[in-house]
């Protein structure tokens, strides 16, 4: 590894005009990671040669949820929605040929952030790179996982402790690292408007900083305040989004001054544009949407994000391939080098329209943040979850009534016909990949010192149980060649186990959807298979089904096929409706259909929904799935009618 760590071919090149990286107005990133470490590394190196300036690593769902590839819940999901990483050798292969002291690395990892960060630090040790030379970010934000994204593992109290300990450790020992990326992105994806996105994000940041204040010296606390970074969203509504990023920037400086007496704090932020706006219908339009959505966060010279990454335009159909990621890079390069927006000062300074809306958003956001701060971490999670459910339902209502125009979806429909329905290359045999990862893990475990692993795990157990230093214990486990699954399992045993938040809160006022009343009793078990925790669609569907008169059994999320089948049988369900966004739909369907046959319960109709390519639809129907739903099926009334028809046919 050390012999290739300075490979000159992987250094980010100069721009075509010869500008150095330091003069570029923001860091160009792509959010990438798939398969195993070597496959992801090859993608990273290609993207760097094409002009990417920093890494933004996507980890697969087993890694994010603290499972090794051989865990039962990891089946069908290894390497699909990100790269599979579970120990030091994986991290070494992932970053081979990429100099850690010259690259800015963002890691989208939350519940398992302490261990993944420990692997990164130990790798730097092995390369002889001092920790103060490392630059990058660990997302390390659990609040939005509880309410929107779903990769939380431990209780809110323990999750907050893990987040703050990583922040404290990094401030004291990895001083140029951003130890948390308070993430507003998923709030907007879950229905939040500009003020809510900012308010929830800053409320979380203030709660964490308040907890850290007593743990750090005044100088270290000031450093912590200055190192807090953010990850924001950018939508298609140009003027409100321009004002949103300006409000983010202005309000954060104001809060740091008024609440902590610290002046001139930079607003550090990365951004990805809104995925929720991307449609399966007329996917070509998504190219235009992405370009427009990138503009608001870079157009204001004094209020510009530090880094930007763009999704693939087929994101509602499948994970982005290399060509889509390259198109995302080129979109940013056109924006940076051809439009000339980087050549001017703040073009909106003094605009009364922009300034008035900015101040209005900031004032509302400040009130929201103050309310969450007063509530505390656990109660803030309940508040945000409840409000997001209401906001998401209201957005769905506006789409159904046409108050919000979504081109190609609820208006100006019809196919354009330029885009292929499926990314053209990088067909991966994921079953083979999973077997390879499991065998590699078996060999890794056989090569270790079992006593060293046992000692490191015992130290981690004691650190969790006795309020000790979790980060140092995590480093010990990384050095002893432990795995992410062992790290998570050790903490589970030392605490209250894995925590599963409720899918729905009681008493949330929900908009009335335009759904028909069904003429007969239908009991529908609704759940998510696998490790993806995005439950926005489940929330909307549950309320729509109940409004239609169905009896809804919430089967939970992060469920195995066996658990879902058992729930459906025990609850005498007519329908088992399964959501899966991780690409494991064929694996899930095969096991569910097999289990239903084994239990003589083939009368239960199986529905599957998620990011499912068109060519997989027939395979699923041939397996015995009754109906397949994808993001193009956004009309809740039509979904209810199709389910009712399936159940009518049954009789």
- DSSP secondary structure letters along 481-549: T--HHHHHHHHHHHTT------SS-TT---PPP--PPPSS--EEEEEEESS----HHHHHHHHHHHHHT
Give pLDDT tens digits for 616-625: 999 999 999 9
Distance of CA 19 to the CA centre of its chain: 33
Distance CA 100, CA 6 (A): 9
Nearest by Cα to 13 from 271, 329, 311: 329
Average pLDDT of the residues in 255-279: 96
pLDDT in tens, 569-622: 999 999 999 998 777 889 999 999 999 999 999 999 999 998 888 889 999 999
For residue 420, what pLDDT is reported?
59
What whole-number distance in Å separates Cα of residue 55 and Cα of residue 270? 12
Give the mean pLDDT of 514-540.
89
> Which H or E element spans position 628?
strand 627-629
Residue 3 sits at φ, ψ, to 5 deg, of: -70, -20
Give residue 109's pLDDT. Answer: 94
Quick one: pLDDT at residue 1? 35
Question: Phi-psi bin for 264: left (phi > 0), alpha (psi -120 to 50), beta?
Answer: left
Q: Say if CB 424 and CB 321 are below 8 A apart.
A: yes
* 8 A C-beta contact, residue 251 and residue 206: no
Lowest mean pLDDT among 250-254, 532-536, 541-545: 532-536
CA dihedral of 238, 241, 246, 248, whole degrees rounded to 10: -170
Q: How far apart are CA 246 and CA 300, in angstroms?
A: 8
Question: What pLDDT does residue 634 have?
Answer: 87
Q: Grade residue 421 by pLDDT with cuts at 50, 70 and 90.
A: low
pLDDT digits (tens, 9 = 90+) for 446-505: 999 999 999 999 999 999 999 999 999 999 999 999 999 999 999 999 998 999 877 777
For residue 170, the tally of other CB atoms under 10 A from its CB is 26
At residue 22, the pLDDT reads 46
For residue 510, what pLDDT is reported? 85
pTM of the predicted model, to two decimals? 0.91
Count, residues in the chain: 651
Contact 101, 588 (CB under 8 A): no
Tell me what pLDDT residue 426 has: 54
DSSP 206-254: HHHHHHHHTTS-HHHHHHHHHH-EEEEEE-S-HHHHHHHHHHHHHHHHH
Compute the average pLDDT of residues 629-638. Answer: 91
Average pLDDT over residues 433-457: 97
**Looking at residue 649, what is its pLDDT?**
67
Whether 6 has a pLDDT exceeding 60, the answer reads: no
Q: How confident is the model at residue 317 (pLDDT cuts 50, 70, 90)?
A: confident
User: Residue 628 — φ and ψ, nearest 5°?
Assistant: -125, 130
What is the third-level CATH fold of 523-650? Rossmann fold (3.40.50)
Per-residue DSSP letter, 625: -
Encode pLDDT of 102-144 as tens digits: 999 999 999 999 999 999 999 999 999 999 999 999 999 999 9
CATH topology for 8-336+347-401?
TIM Barrel (3.20.20)
Query: Is residue 417 over pLDDT 90?
Result: no
Give the whole-angstrom CA distance, residue 36 versus residue 69: 11
User: Distances in Å between the alpha carbon of 157 and those of 70, 160, 252, 310, 537?
Assistant: 29, 5, 25, 33, 27
Over 70: is that where the pLDDT of 19 sits?
A: no
Per cent of the chain over pLDDT 90 is 78
Q: Cβ of 36: how many Cβ atoms within 10 Å? A: 23
With bands split at pLDDT 50, 70 and 90, how would you rate the model's confidence at 533? confident
What tokens were used for 109? 């990892």
Is a pLDDT exceeding 90 seen at residue 221? yes
Give the residue among 491, 535, 546, 488 at the shortest CA–CA distance from 513: 546
Structure token digits, residue 366: 């400040």
Residue 109: HSE in the Cβ half-sphere, 13 Å Cα cutoff: 35
* Pair 55, 98: CB distance under 8 Å: yes
* Per-residue confidence (pLDDT) for residue 378, from 0 to 100: 95
404's tokens: 């919000």
**In the chain, where are the structural domains located?**
8-336+347-401, 523-650
- Per residue in 45-101, pLDDT (tens digit) is 999 999 898 899 999 999 999 999 999 889 889 998 899 999 999 999 999 999 999
Residue 388 neighbours by CB under 8 Å, 6+ apart: 147, 148, 187, 190, 191, 192
Q: Rounded CA gap, 378 and 375, in Å? A: 8
> Based on the number of CB atoms within 10 Å of its own CB, is 445 exposed (0-12), middle (13-18) or buried (19 or more)?
middle
The mean pLDDT value for 402-412 works out to: 93
Element (H, E) at 577: strand 575-579
The three-state secondary structure class of 588 is helix
Helix, strand, coil % over all residues of the chain, rounded to 5 = 50, 10, 40
Please give the Cα distance from 597 to 288 (Å, whole number): 47
Nearest to 142 by CA among 207, 238, 97: 207
Instruction: Specify whether the CB–CB gap between 170 and 208 falls below 8 A.
Output: no
Nearest CA to 40 among 106, 90, 76, 89? Answer: 90
Question: Which band of pLDDT confidence, cut at 50, 70 and 90, is reported for residue 2?
Answer: very low
Q: What is the pLDDT of residue 21?
A: 44
Average pLDDT over residues 400-428: 79
Considering only 152-156, 346-350, 422-426, which range has the smallest mean pLDDT?
422-426
Mean pLDDT in the chain? 91
Whether residue 18 is predicted with pLDDT greater than 90 in this model: the reply is no
């Amino acid at each position: 590894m050390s012999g290739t760590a300075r490979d000159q071919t992987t250094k980010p090149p100069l721009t075509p005009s010869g500008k150095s990286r330091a003069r570029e107005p923001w860091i160009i990133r792509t959010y990438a990671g798939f398969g195993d470490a070597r496959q992801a590394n090859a993608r990273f190196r290609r993207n760097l040669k094409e002009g990417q300036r920093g890494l933004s690593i996507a980890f697969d769902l087993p890694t994010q949820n603290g499972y090794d590839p051989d865990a039962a819940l990891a089946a069908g999901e290894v390497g699909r929605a990100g790269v599979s990483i579970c120990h030091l050798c994986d991290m070494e292969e992932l970053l081979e040929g990429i100099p850690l002291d010259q690259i800015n690395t963002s890691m989208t990892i939350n519940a398992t952030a302490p261990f993944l960060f420990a692997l990164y630090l130990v790798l730097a040790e092995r390369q002889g790179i001092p920790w103060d030379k490392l630059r990058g970010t660990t997302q390390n934000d659990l609040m939005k996982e509880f309410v929107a994204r779903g990769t939380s593992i431990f209780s809110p109290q323990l999750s907050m402790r893990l987040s703050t300990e990583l922040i404290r450790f990094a401030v004291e020992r990895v001083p140029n690292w951003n130890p948390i990326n308070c993430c507003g992105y998923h709030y907007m994806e879950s229905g939040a408007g500009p003020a809510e996105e900012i308010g929830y994000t800053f409320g979380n940041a203030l709660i964490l900083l308040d907890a850290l204040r007593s743990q750090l010296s005044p100088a270290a606390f000031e450093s912590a305040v200055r190192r807090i970074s953010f990850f924001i969203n950018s939508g298609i509504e140009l003027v409100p989004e321009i004002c949103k990023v300006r409000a983010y920037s202005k309000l954060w400086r104001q809060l740091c001054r008024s609440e902590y007496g610290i002046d001139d704090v930079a607003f550090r932020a990365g951004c990805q544009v809104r995925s929720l706006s991307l449609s399966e219908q007329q996917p070509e339009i998504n190219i235009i949407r992405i370009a427009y959505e990138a503009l608001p966060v870079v157009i204001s010279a004094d209020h510009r994000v530090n880094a930007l990454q763009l999704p693939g335009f087929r994101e509602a159909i499948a994970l982005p391939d290399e060509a889509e990621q390259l198109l995302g890079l080129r979109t940013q390069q056109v924006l940076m080098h051809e439009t000339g927006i980087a050549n001017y000062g703040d073009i909106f300074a003094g605009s009364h329209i922009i300034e008035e809306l900015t101040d209005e958003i900031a004032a509302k956001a400040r009130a929201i943040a103050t309310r969450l701060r007063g509530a505390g971490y656990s109660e803030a999670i309940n508040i945000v979850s409840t409000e997001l459910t209401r906001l998401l339902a209201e957005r769905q209502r506006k789409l159904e009534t046409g108050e919000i125009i979504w081109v190609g979806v609820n208006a100006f429909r019809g196919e354009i016909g330029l885009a292929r329905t499926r990314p053209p290359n990088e067909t991966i045999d994921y079953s083979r990949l999973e077997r390879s990862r499991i065998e590699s893990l078996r060999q890794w475990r056989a090569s270790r010192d079992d006593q060293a692993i046992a000692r490191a795990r015992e130290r981690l157990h004691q650190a969790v149980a006795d309020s000790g230093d979790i980060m140092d214990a995590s480093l010990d486990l990384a050095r002893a060649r432990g795995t992410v699954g062992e790290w998570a399992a050790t903490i589970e045993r030392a605490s209250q186990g894995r925590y599963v938040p409720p899918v729905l809160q009681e008493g949330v006022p929900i908009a009335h959807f335009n759904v028909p009343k069904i003429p007969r009793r239908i009991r529908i078990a609704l759940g998510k298979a696998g490790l993806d925790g995005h439950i926005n669609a489940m929330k909307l569907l549950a309320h729509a089904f109940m409004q239609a008169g169905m009896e809804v059994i919430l089967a939970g999320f992060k469920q195995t096929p066996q658990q879902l089948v058992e729930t459906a049988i025990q609850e005498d369900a007519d329908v088992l409706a399964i959501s899966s966004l991780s690409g494991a739909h064929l694996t899930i369907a095969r096991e569910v259909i097999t289990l239903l046959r084994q239990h003589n319960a083939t009368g239960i109709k199986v529905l599957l929904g998620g990011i499912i390519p068109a060519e997989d639809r027939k395979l699923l129907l041939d397996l015995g799935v009754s109906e397949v739903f994808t993001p193009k099926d956004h009309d809740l009334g039509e979904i209810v009618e199709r389910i009712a028809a399936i159940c009518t046919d049954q009789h």
